[in-house]
Amino acid sequence: MRIIYTDVLVIGGGLAGLRMAIAARRRGHEAIILSLVPAKRSHSKAAQGGMQASLGNVIKGQGDSEDVHFEDTVRGGDWGADQEVVRMFVNTAPKAVRELAAWGVPWSRVRKGDREVIINGQKVTITERDAAHGLVAQRDFGGTKKWRTCYVADGTGHAMITAIADQAIAASIPVHEHNEALALIHDSGRCYGAVVRDLVSGELTAYVAKATALATGGAGRLYRVTTNAVICEGIGQAIALETGVATLGNMEAVQFHPTGIFPAGILVTEGCRGDGGLLRDADGHRFMPDYEPEKRELASRDVVSRRMEEHIARGKGAKSRFGDHLWLDITLLGEHHIRHNLREVYEICHYFLGVDPVKEWIPVRAAQHYTMGGVRTGPTGESPNLKGLFAAGEAACWDMHGFNRLGGNSVAETVVAGMIVGEFIGDFCDRPENDINIPTAVVHDYLEREQARLSALLTGRGTEDAVALRVAMQEIMTAKVGIFRRGKDLEQAVDELQQLLVRSRDIGVRYRAAGANPELVTAYRTQRMLKLALTVAYGALARSESRGAHYREDFPRRNDAEWLKRTLASWSNESDTLPTLTYEALDVRRMELPPGWRGYGARDHIHHPDTATREKEVEALKAKLASSDRFAVQQALMPYEQLLPPRLRGRNERIDDRS
């Protein structure tokens, strides 16, 4: 058994992992990235529509700022987010876009003069400013007051990961492809790396590091219908959970994207609606304005997905052999726009549906899309419970999305969190007390434990079929822990998942090769996924309110009085069949934006007792500082800049500042 030493072990080769590794490398630390697949094939690649950053270059973005982005994000998350972290994020996002612009991302650019766009189903002519010509362009997205989403046609994630992965090559950062972390090595509340399996040879290696960073993405594959890549199985969160020390935050917060193509669940971007596309029902009727007169198709994703399912439940879905669906109509955008700005959408429709979106409507239905929950960290990205364990991106819950993420905020988060957390990892590795001091005997124990687990699967007499267990789990999650949730269903889901978990301890494999063995991989991942599914279902059962994407039919109101708190799940003993849930209250008295109505969706909620007081305080402060600039007001309401790494502080210039 081998041991490899490094300063920083990054688990996951997507945008967040690559960017953290680059940051650490620039700080003079050695970094190794582990990746299941070649880094450029990570699921970051599939981000289509764009990344939010309040550059305000386009005319419809004029007046945008960190403040507006902050409020949109907090409202979008239904006040579940950590507002300080949201502030850190919105202030860094423009810097991230500009860094990527310098690194070669071919952002779509503003062209000065008149152009025709579709807004609310109507053709409108808008005029872009001369001063904006050639700057990074923005498009409209759901849940935003301004056009803020910077994009590269509809291949934004692809262009971003190409540039960042190539920067990692330039920095000589090794990516150990086809390698999977099976367990985190930890001792006395300190993380020291991971036991890693080579997916080709089957060999186990211990990677021992000062800092270990999880960037393994989401857990969409807990569900039957998901936009997520097949590797998005939540294994990063699961191995953090299996330490028994680290906690997972808000795992019940799961996003369903309104426009997965039906029935395959492949994503077509929110940019379709942002650019003017409409949702239609079986009768061809545009139904969203009936439900959401203010934001229509561009309410937040949780709201649009619920409205779509509601409409289908009323019998308005189009019928097909595979079930009911609705239609996404982008024909009104015209061929030129679709062939230039929605190329991937065009290809997906062509290849998977045989549909020409220039002329025909696209069959869509909501599909699992994003995991708001993840490894709980503080604003530095470090686990509060397990020193030396960092997490960033979709795998993490630091927590900027609350209970619903806005479109364009996740691909932005990957890079922003990578920049911020990467700096804090640099700080961590700089401190001499964080040198590696773990005895090799402990490392060998971990290696032997994992080897024994694999051997038990390979040579044991288990009789359970991993594929069958996984399919059963996905069916339960989709049917009972989906868009609409009820206590009774959730109780059943928790019971059934527990039974599956117990059965998963008796999985056997038919193909017994120790090396490349897809069946073995399915077996050990399914065992871990079931634990993760239980954190989702059990957290959803316990949360007797509706907030963001977590919607309880039996508790339809948001209940700030009882539930303005973050769920923390841990797995105390290997023999347990349920996670242990604890809660972490959000402090209304420190919020820059006290809880209120989101501007779309349900209007009634149960107030937190501190909300009224805080609202008055905020109003009084704003009145008192009426003659000050927005930065001074913000600073008075909720100072946050001290939380950012020094090199990422500072204001973001806009063209309006130049005039």
Q: Which is nearer to another protein, 115 or 286 (CB)?
A: 115
- Convert residues 291-320 into a mask of x (bound to another protein by CB under 8 A) and - (unbound): ----------------------------xx
Residues 39-78, interacting with another protein (CB under 8 A): 39-43, 45-46
Q: Which is nearer to another protein, 235 or 494 (CB)?
A: 235
In whole angstroms, give the CA distance from residue 428 to residue 7: 10
Judged by CB under 8 A, which of 352, 583, 597, 631 binds another protein? 352
Q: Which is nearer to another protein, 64 or 399 (CB)?
A: 64
Residues 450-509, interacting with another protein (CB under 8 A): 467, 509
612 to 2, 116, 561: CA distances (angstroms): 59, 45, 12
Are the beta carbons of 462 and 25 closer than 8 angstroms? no
Nearest alpha carbon to residue 634 among 647, 648, 650, 618: 618
Q: Does 145 bind another protein (CB under 8 A)?
A: no
In whole angstroms, give the CA distance from residue 386 to residue 571: 14
Structure tokens at 250: 């808000």
Q: Which is nearer to another protein, 56 or 548 (CB)?
A: 56
| Orientation angle between helical segments 630-637 and 611-624, nearest 10 degrees | 150
Task: Candidates 344-352, 378-386, 477-485, 586-594: pick the segment binding another protein (CB under 8 A).
Answer: 344-352
Residue 273 catalytic?
A: yes
Which residues are CB-contacts of 399 (< 8 A; sequence separation ≥ 6)?
80, 81, 82, 85, 249, 250, 372, 376, 566
Q: Does 264 bind another protein (CB under 8 A)?
A: yes
Judged by CB under 8 A, which of 6, 138, 144, 162 binds another protein? 162
Q: Which is nearer to another protein, 167 or 243 (CB)?
A: 167
The CA R_g of the chain, rounded to the nearest whole Å, is 24
Residues 318-337, interacting with another protein (CB under 8 A): 319-322
Write down the least CB distance from residue 356 to another protein, Å.
15
3-class SS letters over 171-211 = CCCCEEECEEEEEEEEECCEEEEEEEEECCCCCEEEEEEEE
Q: Which residues of 195-211 are buried (b: 16+ CB within 10 A; e: fewer)?
A: bbbbbeeeebbbbbbbb
Q: What is the DSSP letter of 286?
A: B
Task: Candidates 34-42, 66-74, 402-410, 479-487: pick the segment binding another protein (CB under 8 A).
Answer: 34-42
Counting every residue written for the chain, the total comes to 659
Task: Candidates 250-258, 330-338, 348-356, 453-461: pick the segment binding another protein (CB under 8 A).
Answer: 348-356
Residues 612-651, interacting with another protein (CB under 8 A): 648, 650-651
User: Which 3 state secondary structure label does DSSP give 110?
Assistant: coil
Write down the least CB distance from residue 184 to another protein, Å.
24
Residues 545-604, interacting with another protein (CB under 8 A): none
Q: Which one is catalytic: 19, 197, 273, 598?
A: 273
- Convert residues 189-228 into a mask of x (bound to another protein by CB under 8 A) and - (unbound): -----------xx---------------------------
Q: Which is nearer to another protein, 546 or 652 (CB)?
A: 652
In whole angstroms, give the CA distance from residue 463 to residue 647: 56
Q: Does 6 bind another protein (CB under 8 A)?
A: no
List residues with catalytic annotation.
257, 273
